[in-house]
């Protein structure tokens, strides 16, 4: 898409141009001197297709995403983001925003457009007295956990340390602490955001409250967040956590017992269910490695002495193959599943929310987990409720407060020749789960072919989100996302 010459003369350089795609996917060109002037404003520089760093810079977590931006702006400051949005607006250039680059849909990469890359903005500053953290848009969960846990504090985040804080939070954000302390958005005090007009705004409950409402769950539709302010809670540095693993033959018994146990579990305890082929965990016999199992990962974030008693019933759901439970560093447990979610593999997900799990729904899940299309594929069901469910559905853009369980059908593989096999399996599970599920889904798990589910996932909040979009992004400049079109 770029017309670049190895050693152009000054006159030749002036006559060159960059080919790009507009918001409407039309092909246009911008003169090289304008590109040069833009690049001069960006602290980290601007990368084009001919640059040595280009191939690495365009990669994201999901190996299925193979898009080629015309330009990558490596932003290191708020002013860089302003300049990028103004350049994109002036040329109606298709624009994407990269924080951690972990989203399943790969919306961080705009084919033929401009990528605003904030992955270098990873600063985390903690005020332990106020129990507040100030977080840059490129920070990963590991960055935030490391800095907060140094003071015995934490904010509810996800479960994979390489996930970006920005994307996770803007879509809602849930993990091991959500039942006790709410979602990531429930702990957001304010954000600094650059809106598509290039203006810097502070959004909070007292300043730009409608924008703040929309950003808490509405994704990157309304502006580019350059700083997050989170409320922190005393957590750890150790929690009582670990895994209990059951044979797949006992799946029906175990899942029904788990479901019933969840009904009265303390908010301080979170227990998930994962059905997959057993990884080579050291506490499991080699004879079960690579065979289907039911894994119950859990975290008790209360008093350590009470943790063992709180999780004891989980060991009695059946006859465990093995277990590994005890006091463990919270930040360490946040990395426990990283090896199963390393970047570069091909990934395709399908998600459903459930207000409850009937026996029929459990049987459906078990049946499909018995037909996993590959050794890295899995079905996990996260226990929700607790503090998350006590927030009113219209208090934030995120509407799925009634979800007691969230399912993710995780297709993961390496051979492109297996794309159809894995995706068809995942889609099949989703379709079979739909009669048992609510209409909404967790937007952070939606894939690029699920634009039709966006409105359903926001339910009664969608019209308000469209009105907010019209106010802050009437031209839909920020459309490389789970898009909310202006009303």
Contact in structure between 256 and 359 (CB atoms under 8 Å): yes
Work out the pLDDT band at 5, boundaries 50, 70, 90. very low
CA 323 to chain centre: 29
Q: Which CATH architecture has domain 124-235?
A: 2-Layer Sandwich (3.30)
pLDDT score recorded for residue 451:
86
CA 409 to chain centre: 15
Region(s) of the chain under CATH 3.30.43.10: 10-117
Nearest to 172 by CA among 162, 158, 189: 158
Cα–Cα distance for residue pair 43/310, rounded to 1 Å:
51
- Measured at the CA of 159, the angle between CA 153 and CA 161, to 5 degrees, comes to 75
pLDDT score recorded for residue 4:
39
Q: How many CA atoms lie within 13 Å of 353's alpha carbon, on the beta-carbon side?
A: 25
pTM for the full predicted model: 0.93
pLDDT score recorded for residue 13:
55
Contact in structure between 439 and 393 (CB atoms under 8 Å): no
What would the pLDDT profile of 292-339 be if each residue is shown by its tens digit? 999 999 999 999 999 999 999 999 999 999 999 999 999 999 999 999
CATH class of the domain whose range is 10-117 = alpha beta
Contact in structure between 139 and 161 (CB atoms under 8 Å): no
For range 278-298, the mean pLDDT: 96
Mean of all residue pLDDT scores within the chain: 95
Strand partners, 210: none
CA 177 to chain centre: 16
pLDDT exceeds cutoff 70 at 15: no
Cα–Cα distance for residue pair 461/464, rounded to 1 Å:
5
pLDDT exceeds cutoff 90 at 2: no
What would the pLDDT profile of 59-99 be if each residue is shown by its tens digit? 999 999 999 999 999 999 999 999 999 999 999 999 999 99
pLDDT exceeds cutoff 50 at 11: no
Contact in structure between 239 and 298 (CB atoms under 8 Å): no
What would the pLDDT profile of 422-477 be if each residue is shown by its tens digit? 999 999 999 999 999 998 889 999 998 998 899 999 999 999 999 999 999 999 99
Phi-psi label, residue 101: left if phi above 0, alpha if psi -120 to 50, beta otherwise: left
Phi-psi label, residue 325: left if phi above 0, alpha if psi -120 to 50, beta otherwise: beta
In the chain, the percentage of residues whose pLDDT exceeds 70 is 97
Region(s) of the chain under CATH 3.30.465.10: 124-235
Work out the pLDDT band at 1, boundaries 50, 70, 90. very low
CA 81 to chain centre: 21
Per-residue H/E/C for the chain: CECCCCCCCHHHHHHCEEEEEECCCCEEEEEHHHHHHHHCCCCCCEEECCCCCHHHHCCCCCCCCCCCCCEEEECCCHHHHHHHHHHHHHHCECEEEECCCCCCCCCCCCCCCEEEECCCCCCEEEECCCCEEEECCCCEHHHHHHHHHCCCEECCCCCCCCCEHHHHHHCCCCCCCHHHHCCCHHHEEEEEEECCCCCEEEEECCCCHHHHHHHCCCHHHCCEEEEEEEECEECCCEEEEEEEEEEHHHHHHHHHHHHHHHHHCCCCEEECEEEEECCCCCCCCHHHCCCEEEEEEEEECCCHHHHHHHHHHHHHCCCCCEEEEEEEEHHHHCCCCHHHHCCCCEEEEEEEEECCCCHHHHHHHHHHHCCCCCCCCEEEEEECCHHHHHCCCCCCCCCCCCCCEEEEEEEEECCHHHHHHHHHHHHHHHHHHHHHCCCCCCHHHCCCCCHHHHHHHHHHHHHHHHHHHHHHCCCCCCCCCCCCCCC
Work out the pLDDT band at 223, boundaries 50, 70, 90. very high
- Residue 403 vs residues 415, 457, 482: alpha-carbon distances, Å: 34, 12, 20
- Measured at the CA of 245, the angle between CA 283 and CA 262, to 5 degrees, comes to 140
pLDDT exceeds cutoff 80 at 7: no
Q: Tell me, which fold does domain 238-455 have in CATH?
A: Vanillyl-alcohol Oxidase; Chain A, domain 3 (3.40.462)
pLDDT exceeds cutoff 50 at 3: no
pLDDT exceeds cutoff 90 at 382: yes
Region(s) of the chain under CATH 3.40.462.20: 238-455
Nearest to 78 by CA among 198, 187, 239: 198
pLDDT score recorded for residue 255:
98
């Amino acid at each position: 898409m770029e017309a670049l010459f190895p050693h152009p003369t000054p006159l030749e350089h002036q006559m060159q141009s960059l080919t790009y795609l507009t918001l409407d996917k039309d092909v246009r060109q911008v003169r090289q001197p304008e590109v040069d002037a833009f690049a001069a404003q960006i602290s980290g520089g601007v990368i084009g297709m001919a640059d040595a760093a280009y191939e690495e810079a365009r990669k994201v977590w999901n190996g299925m995403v193979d898009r080629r931006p015309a330009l990558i702006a490596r932003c290191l400051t708020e002013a860089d983001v302003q300049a990028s949005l103004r350049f994109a607006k002036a040329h109606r250039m298709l624009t994407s925003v990269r924080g951690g680059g972990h989203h399943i849909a790969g919306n961080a990469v705009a084919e033929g457009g401009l990528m605003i890359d904030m992955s270098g903005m990873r600063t985390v500053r903690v005020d332990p007295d106020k129990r507040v953290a100030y977080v840059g848009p490129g920070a990963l969960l590991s960055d935030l956990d490391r800095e907060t846990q140094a003071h015995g504090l934490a904010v509810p985040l996800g479960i994979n340390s390489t996930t970006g804080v920005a994307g996770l939070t803007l879509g809602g954000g849930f993990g091991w602490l959500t039942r006790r302390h709410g979602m990531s958005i429930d702990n957001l005090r304010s954000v600094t955001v650059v809106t598509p007009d290039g203006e810097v705004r502070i959004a909070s409950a007292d300043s730009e409250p409608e924008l703040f409402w929309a950003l808490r769950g509405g994704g990157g539709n309304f502006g580019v967040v350059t700083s997050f302010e989170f409320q922190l809670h005393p957590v750890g540095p150790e929690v009582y956590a670990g895994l209990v693993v059951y044979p797949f033959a006992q799946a029906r018994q175990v899942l029904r017992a788990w479901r019933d146990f969840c009904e009265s579990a303390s908010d301080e305890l979170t227990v998930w269910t994962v059905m997959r082929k057993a990884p080579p965990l050291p506490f499991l016999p080699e004879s079960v490695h690579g065979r289907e199992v039911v894994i119950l990962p859990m975290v008790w974030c209360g008093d350590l002495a009470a943790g063992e008693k709180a999780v004891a019933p989980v060991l009695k759901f059946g006859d465990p193959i093995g277990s590994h439970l005890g006091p463990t560093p919270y930040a360490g447990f946040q990395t426990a599943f990283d090896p199963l979610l390393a970047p570069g593999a091909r990934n395709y997900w399908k998600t459903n929310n459930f207000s409850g799990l009937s026996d029929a729904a459990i049987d459906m899940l078990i049946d499909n987990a018995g037909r996993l299309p590959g050794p890295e594929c899995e079905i996990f069901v996260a226990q929700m409720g607790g503090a998350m469910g006590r927030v009113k559905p219209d208090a934030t853009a995120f509407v799925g407060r009634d979800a007691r369980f969230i399912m993710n059908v995780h297709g993961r593989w390496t051979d492109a020749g297996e794309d159809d096999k894995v995706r068809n399996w995942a889609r099949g599970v989703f379709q079979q789960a739909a009669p048992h599920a609510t209409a909404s889904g967790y937007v952070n798990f939606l894939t690029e072919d699920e634009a039709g589910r966006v409105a359903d996932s926001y339910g009664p909040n969608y019209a308000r989100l469209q009105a907010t979009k019209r106010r802050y992004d009437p031209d839909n400049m920020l459309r490389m996302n789970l898009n909310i079109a202006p009303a």
